[in-house]
């Protein structure tokens, strides 16, 4: 019989505190002559840095920069006024004290949703609750758009606690309808058009147009936007005619959180 190794001792409080207060430093890479790509260890650090960059740009303490584009674990800063400004910020940024992300103070975008998704029961089983409780907990959460991608108008929304993170479907669907509300990993998203997809679908947002080229800006969601999902109480699931218009176009490759 092979002896089973004892589990390693849990780290003491001091070690845990050190991990909490001293996150891994960012990795900063040049992008062309007037851009920087900041790579971070966690999604939380990325959202916090993005919020800090926006705050500093608003108060004038950030060098002029054309674009600030967050990703899952990166923030791109592009089109500085000069290469010297980009190099200076690259040297200074690792020393910044970036506060943890807190609830924003801006307006909250409300997205009406019917919790009628085909994967609602599967998500309820993963959460260990009834389907109605999935709807209640999801609607009680305030979300924040962490970044955008995959298709025009698609936002990756964070806010659900880690116990409610769910895996993608083992077999993706070849077609997810426009307006579908899905979960994957740490993210919630609303499909702006029909496309392939592997997220767990828990509902439908029939009244929200996420991408409209006749609107300025065309995208309803932008990084940093606060979002809440509002249940459409008493509404029965309806045919595709009650979905927002599909902007069409060829489907993009399947998204991955």
Dump pLDDT digits (tens) for 120-168: 999 999 999 999 999 999 999 999 999 999 899 999 999 999 999 999 9
Q: Give the pLDDT band (50/70/90) at residue 105.
A: low
**Mean predicted confidence (pLDDT) in 205-226:** 94
Strand order in the sheet with 74-80: 27-30, 35-39, 74-80, 65-70
Q: What is the pLDDT of residue 257?
A: 42
Place of tokens 């920087």: 36
**Mean predicted confidence (pLDDT) in 222-247:** 69
Q: Is it the case that residue 238 has pLDDT exceeding 70?
A: no
Cis, peptide link before residue 242, omega less than 30° from 0: no
Beta bridge partner(s), residue 157: 145, 188
CA separation for the pair 49, 221 (Å, rounded): 19
- Tally the residues of the chain: 257
- Mean pLDDT for the chain? 85
């Amino acid at each position: 019989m092979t002896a089973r190794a004892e589990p390693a001792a849990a780290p003491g409080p001091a070690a845990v505190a050190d991990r909490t207060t001293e996150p891994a430093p960012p990795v900063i890479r040049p992008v062309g002559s007037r851009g920087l790509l900041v790579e971070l260890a966690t999604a939380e650090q990325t959202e916090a840095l993005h919020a800090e960059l926006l705050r500093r740009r608003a108060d004038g303490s950030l060098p002029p920069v054309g674009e600030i584009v967050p990703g899952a674990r990166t923030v791109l800063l592009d089109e500085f006024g000069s290469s010297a400004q980009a190099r200076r910020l690259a040297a200074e940024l690792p020393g910044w004290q970036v506060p943890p992300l807190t609830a924003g103070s801006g307006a909250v975008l409300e997205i009406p949703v019917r919790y009628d998704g085909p994967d609602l029961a599967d998500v309820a089983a993963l959460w260990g609750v009834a389907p109605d409780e999935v709807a209640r907990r999801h609607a009680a959460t305030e979300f924040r758009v962490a970044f955008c991608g995959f298709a025009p108008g698609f936002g990756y929304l964070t806010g659900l606690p880690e116990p409610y993170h769910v895996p993608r479907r083992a077999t993706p669907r070849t077609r997810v309808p426009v307006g579908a509300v899905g979960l994957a990993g740490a993210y919630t998203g609303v499909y702006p058009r029909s496309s392939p997809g592997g997220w767990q679908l828990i509902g439908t947002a029939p009244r929200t147009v996420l991408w409209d080229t006749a609107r300025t800006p065309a995208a309803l969601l932008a990084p940093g936007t606060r979002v809440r999902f509002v249940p459409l109480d008493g509404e029965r699931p309806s045919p595709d005619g009650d979905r927002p218009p599909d902007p069409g176009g060829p489907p993009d490759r399947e998204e991955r959180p």
